[in-house]
């Protein structure tokens, strides 16, 4: 799940700055100055806003997934016999130092 979200996020971040680069935008204004004109600019802005919202949503989802993952891995680590064995060994060493 986390990997899919990361890939989708990377694709959207790659796509966002590339909206609107598919046409010839330089048109003469009649006064000797070139003016950049974007046909269908309102749809372009809607698309950009949609992608930005998707990026924000995916980043939020990633934070939740990472938090759950870190909590789960910590819990597994604490419950593992290796961790308990090490803790017992350290505890015994500490007690022997005190006595």
Calpha distance 5→69 (Å, rounded): 14
Structure tokens at 11: 């694709």
Provide the strand spans (E) within 1-99. Answer: 26-28, 34-36
Query: Rounded to two decimals, what is the model's pTM?
Result: 0.54
**pLDDT tens digits, 6-59:** 999 999 999 888 876 544 444 444 555 454 555 666 777 878 888 899 999 999
**pLDDT at residue 47, as a whole number:** 81
């Amino acid at each position: 799940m986390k990997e899919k979200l990361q890939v989708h996020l990377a694709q959207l971040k790659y796509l966002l700055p590339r909206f609107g680069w598919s046409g010839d935008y330089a048109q003469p204004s009649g006064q000797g100055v070139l003016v950049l004109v974007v046909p269908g600019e309102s749809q372009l802005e809607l698309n950009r806003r949609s992608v930005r919202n998707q990026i924000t949503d995916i980043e939020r989802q990633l934070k939740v997934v990472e938090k759950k993952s870190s909590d789960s891995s910590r819990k597994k680590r604490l419950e593992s016999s290796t961790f308990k064995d090490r803790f017992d060994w350290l505890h015994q060493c500490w007690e022997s130092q005190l006595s």
